[in-house]
Amino acid sequence: MSLVKTSDIAKHDLEEQGRILIVESSHLYLTLIEGAVNDVFSGQVDKASTFDEVKSLIEEHKGEYFLVLLNLVLPGASQGEAVNYVRNYDLPAVVFTSSVDEALVNQIQSLGVIDYIIKENVTNLELVSKMVRRLDHNRRITALIVDDSATMREQMQVLLSKYLFKIEVAENGVEALEKVRSDDTIRLVITDYEMPKMNGFELIKKLRTFKESRDLAIVGMSSDERDKLATDFIRFGADDFVKKGISHEEFATRISLCMDKLDLLNELMLRATTDFLTKLWNRMYFMSASSTLFSSASRGQITIDVAMIDLDHFKRINDTYGHDAGDEVLREVAAALKSIIRGTDLLARMGGEEFCLLAVNVSAEHREKFFNSLREAVSELEFSFNGENVRMSASMGITSILGDSVEDMMNRADAALYEAKEAGRNQCVFAD
């Protein structure tokens, strides 16, 4: 088995996150922009205040920057030379300017920048945060353009690429359906109405049979002037409708609103299904998802084990060192358990210091070793509270007998957990 170095993992994570370069000659504004960016972006943020610093940083990291935020005017570059320099490297850029002169704005846009922000006051920093967050999300999203016109596909591809989307294209609804089914990174579909083989309405209806609004944003487009067309697009499941020929700025704004809605729906779902403290699934989600896995096990498609996991003497942590210490223990235990389970397994915090694991297809010969590795991962954790070193342990009860339901399995595992506690704690008891 080959080992991956921690430094290699960190390097991969950094490359995946990318870098942002902020260019601003005002120290105060530079600090404010940096704070706004750090609120929504966890990758590396570089700063420059002169044209020479810009050239030096880009020469060193040009392959890593996914976004440059820069002032139009800098010392040594009073005519926008820095913007030209950044765009010559084909780096996506957002420009800050204190001028609202129309000719200047047109000049900025002609350089192919993503957008510009007027430096009126600090309230515009919220706009910076929203833009960085949106662009950071966009670069991980594939947009599918569905149109039988090659010219329109090309125009849309140029526009969406400017906002950092990855792009796929399809000439008709049949081709589009195949692409969406096979590519989970497609989170946005922009579809024409009149197309051969399948029109836009039929495509949307079929997409909505397997892609909910939180999984896929859909925007309808048409040059047709009928007012009812927009209503029908929305009725069949589109999130928005735009007429062909609208301004690029309006189109980009409406696409951003659709993607913000998709993000919000996913955030609300995440809050409803995860435990806030440990970021594991919560009890409600576990009971829902586990019933599906139980049904598969009942049909002989998979095997499942259910384990109840309880931290030993956890109350002493809260009573002796406070609830902040208890929270830290729960977070670290959750992370330790999560680092061992597989992607097919279901791990949840059920409440307090109790966790439940539904493990899929654990072979009989590896069963004892697998569950003991979870117990050992907890016992290897070490904490320091008030200058004292503290260790934890966990007791576990496990069953692989299906019984009548997941609840039946949990009850049987809970009884085995009680036996583990009675036998001295820090051990696994298998109910079967």
Tokens (6 digits) for 283: 């009890």
Domains and CATH numbers, the chain: 6-136 (3.40.50.2300), 140-272 (3.40.50.2300), 283-430 (3.30.70.270)
- At 185-194, the pLDDT tens digits run 999 999 999 8
- At 67-108, the pLDDT tens digits run 999 998 888 888 889 999 999 999 999 998 877 677 777 777
Cβ neighbour number for residue 188 with a 10 Å cutoff: 21
Cβ neighbour number for residue 405 with a 10 Å cutoff: 13
pLDDT at 432 over 80: no
Judged by DSSP in three states, 337 sits in helix
Q: Give pLDDT, residue 169.
A: 96
Tokens (6 digits) for 427: 């051990």
Sheet holding 217-222, edge to edge: 166-170, 142-146, 186-192, 217-222, 240-243
- pTM over 0.75, yes/no: no
- At 2-51, the pLDDT tens digits run 333 333 333 333 345 689 999 999 898 899 999 999 999 989 999 999 99
